[in-house]
């Protein structure tokens, strides 16, 4: 069954002021003072507005930036990259493809052994689905991302 991910106005109306500012107005939350920057639990991160799967904990690492950082998205089709010329510099903005939420930015200073990319993402744009809840919450197909990790325990 393919999920229909889209911008849900009801979900937008339930956002906190910080979540709204980040996802709808391209704001940035404070470093080291956000929900997931130091989260080490196994699971996936989905768009808080559309629910589309974005990143997995198996690709999360400590970039020492104060924001959740990932080397790759779960499905590149759920990520849109746009040139961002704000703040007097050129960066690559990362948005969700179906929810059109501002997520954060993409940098080329990630771990070289993992491809060299750093998806620097605002916690306020994300909802975390713990590994134990993947099936219950409709994301069971992503359990496979954790099979190799579970086998090494």
pLDDT tens, residue by residue, 136-146: 999 999 999 99
pLDDT of 61 > 90? The answer is yes
pLDDT of 40 > 60? The answer is yes
Mean pLDDT value of segment 112-135: 97
pLDDT of 99 > 60? The answer is yes
CB 124, CB 33: distance < 8 Å: no
CB 26, CB 68: distance < 8 Å: no
Mean pLDDT value of segment 27-32: 96
The structure tokens listed for 36 are 């997931």
Mean per-residue pLDDT over the chain, rounded: 92
Give the CA count within 13 Å in the CB-facing half-sphere of 114.
17
pLDDT, residue 6, reads 79
pLDDT, residue 1, reads 38
- Torsion sign across C-alpha atoms 59, 65, 68, 74: negative
Residues noted as catalytic: 120
- Domain 9-146 adopts which CATH fold? 2.170.150
CA distances from 1 to 30, 81, 97, 125, 138 (A): 38, 27, 19, 25, 10
pLDDT category, 89, cuts 50, 70, 90?
confident
């Amino acid at each position: 069954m393919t999920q229909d991910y889209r911008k849900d106005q009801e979900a937008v109306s339930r956002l906190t002021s910080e979540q709204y500012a980040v996802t709808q107005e391209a704001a940035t939350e404070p470093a080291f003072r956000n929900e997931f920057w130091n989260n080490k639990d196994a699971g996936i991160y989905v768009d808080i507005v559309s629910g589309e799967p974005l990143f997995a904990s198996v690709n999360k690492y400590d970039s020492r930036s104060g924001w959740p950082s990932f080397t790759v998205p779960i499905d590149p089709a759920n990520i849109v990259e746009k040139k961002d010329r704000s703040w007097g510099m050129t960066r690559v903005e990362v948005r969700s493809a179906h929810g059109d939420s501002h997520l954060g930015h993409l940098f080329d200073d990630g771990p070289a052994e993992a491809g060299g990319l750093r998806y620097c993402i605002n916690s306020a744009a994300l909802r975390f689905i713990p590994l134990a809840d993947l099936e219950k919450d409709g994301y069971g197909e992503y359990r496979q991302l954790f099979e190799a990790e579970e086998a090494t325990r």
